[in-house]
Amino acid sequence: MIAALVALALAPGQFVALDQVDPTIVQDMRYATRHNFVGRRIHGYREPVCLLTGKAARALHRAQVELRPKGYGLKVYDCYRPTRAVAQFDRWARNPADQKMKAEFYPHVDKRRAFVDGYIAHRSGHSRGSTVDITLVRPPAKAPPEWDGKLRSCVAPYRRRFRDNSVNMGTSYDCMDPRAATFHPAIEGHRLRNRLRLKRTLERVGFAYYSKEWWHFTLRDEPYPEKYFNFPVARESVK
């Protein structure tokens, strides 16, 4: 089947804002800010809001309900991603001169390998609306702190990385490094247990994990497996 690129001003009716389904899931929408591997607000992110298909949002709600009695909760970093944002990432990866955020997001990796190593894709499952970048927090989680502009290595020890109120997963979010792989041998002890808690919980509600990024999950039975959308990330898109 040929995948379809769909240009719409508004989302299809199956899309929702996550906080309409579960307002207790923390949102730290990095691509609506400058604190990401590009170093600027990403095209199409008009508001810091998580949009997803209703099916994916309800699955996350079930995961949240399961985690809360165990002393954990969910936090999302990215949800639906417009194709225009994916195109911006593509251009960034093809520009070796742009090393603005290297010290934090890819301190030991040559960005020219971003495609080969699986960190950047020409087409992203996020644009189908049922893929999330997600982590665990300890409730009651404080609001995500404002980034102070300082770059801190994503593979540094936990207390030397950017403190974003999440539990220790062994690397920061969006870390382009082999240690971001879910089962990297250097990740042991409580860091591995945290990754496995996230993975197993999300698998029980229908998500599949991506082996190279501990934070990346896609709903297995997604509503739009062959459609890639480009409507903006904004609440008005799902009205």
45 vs 33, 130, 234, CA distance in Å? 9, 17, 7
pLDDT at 2: 45
Q: Is the pLDDT of residue 88 over 50?
A: yes
Model confidence pLDDT, tens digit, residues 18-42: 999 999 999 999 999 999 999 999 9
The reported pTM is 0.95
Q: Is the pLDDT of residue 9 over 90?
A: no
Cβ–Cβ < 8 Å for 109, 66: no
Question: To the nearest whole percent, how much of the chain has pLDDT over 70?
Answer: 97
Q: With the C-alpha atoms ordered 87, 124, 29, 55, is the resulting torsion angle positive or negative?
A: positive
pLDDT at 7: 57
Q: Is the pLDDT of residue 99 over 80?
A: yes
Which range (75-79, 115-119, 175-179, 206-210) has the least confidence? 115-119
Question: To the nearest whole percent, how much of the chain has pLDDT over 90?
Answer: 87
Mean pLDDT of the region 118-122 = 90
Q: Name the nearest CA neighbour of 227 among 1, 18, 59, 4.
A: 4
pLDDT at 190: 98
Q: Residue 213: CB partners within 8 Å, gap ≥ 6? A: 119, 133, 180, 181, 182
Band (1; pLDDT cuts 50, 70, 90): very low
Mean pLDDT of the chain: 95
φ and ψ at 213, to 5 degrees?
Answer: -140, 110
CA distance 73 to 75: 7
pLDDT at 13: 87
Band (8; pLDDT cuts 50, 70, 90): low
Task: Give me the active site residues, please.
Answer: 213
Model confidence pLDDT, tens digit, residues 188-224: 999 999 999 999 999 999 999 999 999 999 999 999 9
Q: Distance from first CA to last CA of the chain, Å, rounded?
A: 30
Model confidence pLDDT, tens digit, residues 126-173: 999 999 999 999 999 888 889 999 999 999 999 999 989 999 999 999
